[in-house]
Amino acid sequence: MSFVAGRGPMDGDGAALPGGPAPGGGADDGDADGGGGGADDARAGRAAQAGRAGGTAGSGDGGSRGGGDGDGGGRLRRWARASAMPLLSAATGALPVLIFPTIGWWWFAYVCLVPQMLLLRGAPDRRTALKLGWYGGIGFLIGVMSWLIPTLSVAILLLAALLGLFWAPWGWLVWRLLRGRPDGLRSVAAVVLVPCGWMVIETIRSWQYLGGPWGLLGASQYQQHVALVTASVGGVWLDSLLIVMVNTALVVLIADWGRCVVAYGTLVAIAAGVLAMCAWAPQPRLTGATATIGVVQPGGSANEADRTEHGEQLTRTLIGDHPDLVVWGESSLTEDLTTDPALTAQIAALSRQVGADLLVNVDAVQGDSGGIYKTSVLVGPQGLTGQSYAKIRLVPFGEYIPLRPVLGWISHLSKAAAVDRRRGTENVVMTVPEPGGGTLRIGPLICFESAFPDMSRALVNRGAQVVVVQSSTATFQNTAAPSSTPRWPRCGPPRPDGRWSRRR
C-alpha cells in the first residue's frame, strides 16, 4: 500500500489528518483519475495557503510598515469624516456675523439661517440634530462675541460651548419639523414654532448674567426705517421673529421644491403685517425743540492725569458754542468726587467756563462701601448736583466674573476682571437746566447697557427726553465692539416726544 507524498491518514469522517491523505486522494498510484485529480487539488490548496501565509508573514516586516501607513491614513480619513459635519455646522452657524457691524450686510439677515437649517433638516437622526444644533450655536456665539477674545482668550471656547447648548433643542426642532418633504401641517408648525424657538434662545441668553442681548438678529436692521417702525411696536424682538420666520419659509420652499402654499402665504402675511404697522404705528410728535450736547472723548491713556487734562482741554473748545450739556466718556475719572473736593472744584470751574453742566463718569471705589462702581455724575457750576447713576448691567468677565469661586481661574489665563465691579440698583432720570431757562431730562446709560432694549425703554417711560450713552471701547479696539455699541439703542424704544439731540 502506497500513499501520495505529503499526505497523511484520514480520520473516520474522511477528513485529512496531519500527515494523512486529503479527501479525494487515491490510495493507489495506479488510480490515475481519482488520485491524480486529488493531488492537483491538494497542491493548489497548499500553494494558496502558502501565498496567504507569505502575505501574512510579509506584513510583519515590510508589510507591517505598509499596513501601518494604511491604518494611519484610515484614522485620518475617519477623523476628517467625523469632524466635517461639526465644523460645517459651526461655520453655517456663524454666518449671521455678516449682518452685524462692521460688515453690515443687513439684507443677508433674511437668508443667513437657511444654510444652517438645511444642514439640520438633513441630519440622519435626532441625536445628530441635537449635536449639530449645539455646534451651530458655538459658531454663532464665537462670531458675534469675538470682541471678548482680547479679554477671555481661549476661555471664550468654554463660554461658547456652555451657552451653545441652548441651540441643541432648536436644532432638534428644525429637524423634527423640516426633515424630508414636510406636509402642510408640518409646514405650518415650522413657520410658527421654529421662529418662536429662536426667540426663546434670544430671551434666555439676554439675561444679564448670561452675557446680555449681544447679537440679536433684529438689531442688525438699525438703519432700516421699516425695521425701526416694527421695533416701535414690538421691540427688537419682533424684528428678530420676522427675520427667522422669513428664513424658515424659504427653507420650507426649498424642501418642497418651491410648491408649498404655506410658505408663500407666510411671506405674503409678513409683508402685509409690516405694511400695516408702517401705516398705523404711532409716530414721534415733532415739537421743533432741540438740545445741543457736546461729547468729549479724549481716548484711552495709561496716565489718568493726562486723560483728565486732555478731557478738560477738549471741553474748553466748546466755550462760545452754548451747549445744553457736555458729556464725558466712560471711566473718564478714576477718583470719587464725593471724597475729592479739589477735583470736584476743578470740574465745577470747567462747567462755569462752558456754561453747561458736565456729565462725567467715575470708575472708582465709592465712599465707604469698599466696592468699585461705574457712576455717571452730574456736575454743575456750583459743584455736585446730587444726581448720579451707578451702572446696573456689567460686562461679564470684563467688569466682573460670573461665579468667581468657580470661574475665577479664567483671570489667570486672560485679561478678565481681577476685581468685580459693584452694581447699581435702579435707572435714574436727571434734570439738567438749560441756558434759556427750561430743563432737559436725560437718562444716562453706560456702554454695554445700551445693548439692553428694556433699559432705554424704561428711561423713556420715566420721562427721559434724551438717552445719553457714556462709552469707552479702548479695551476692544480692532473688534466689532466699537462699531456696534452706539447702534443697538436705535432698535430700542421709539424716539422721545420731539426732543432731538445734536451731538458736537
> If pLDDT is split at 50, 70 and 90, which confidence band does 297 have?
confident
Q: Return the H-helix or E-strand segment holding 290.
A: strand 290-296
pTM: 0.75
Identify whether the C-beta of residue 468 lies closer than 8 Å to the C-beta of residue 293: yes
Exposure string of 75-109, with b = 16+ CB inside 10 Å and e = fewer, is: eeeeeeeeeebbebbbbbbbbbbebbbeebebeeb
User: How confident is the model over 222-244, as pLDDT tens digits?
Assistant: 999 999 999 989 989 999 999 99
Q: Distance of alpha carbon 300 from its chain centroid, rounded?
A: 27
Note the pLDDT of residue 5.
39
Identify whether the C-beta of residue 484 lies closer than 8 Å to the C-beta of residue 429: no
* Distance in angstroms (rounded) separating the CA atoms of residues 430 and 444: 8
Query: Of 15-24, 250-259, 447-456, where does mean pLDDT reach its minimum?
Result: 15-24
Length of the chain: 504
Identify whether the C-beta of residue 294 lies closer than 8 Å to the C-beta of residue 326: yes
Average pLDDT of the segment spanning 396-417: 79
* Distance in angstroms (rounded) separating the CA atoms of residues 366 and 346: 19
Note the pLDDT of residue 488.
44
- Residue 179 DSSP symbol: S
Average pLDDT of the segment spanning 44-69: 44
User: How confident is the model over 127-164, as pLDDT tens digits?
Assistant: 999 999 999 999 999 999 888 787 777 888 988 999 99
Query: Who has greater pLDDT, 464 or 474?
Result: 464
Average pLDDT of the segment spanning 258-279: 95
Average pLDDT of the segment spanning 412-433: 87
Note the pLDDT of residue 166.
96
pLDDT at residue 24 is higher than 90: no
CATH of domain 290-503: 3.60.110.10
Q: In what order do the strands lie in the sheet with 439-446?
A: 430-433, 439-446, 466-470
3-class DSSP state of 471? coil
Nearest CA to 428 out of 398, 471, 472, 385 is that of 385
> If pLDDT is split at 50, 70 and 90, which confidence band does 401 have?
confident
Query: Who has greater pLDDT, 342 or 416?
Result: 342
> If pLDDT is split at 50, 70 and 90, which confidence band does 476 have?
low
User: For 30, what's the count of Cα atoms within 13 Å in the CB-facing half-sphere?
Assistant: 1
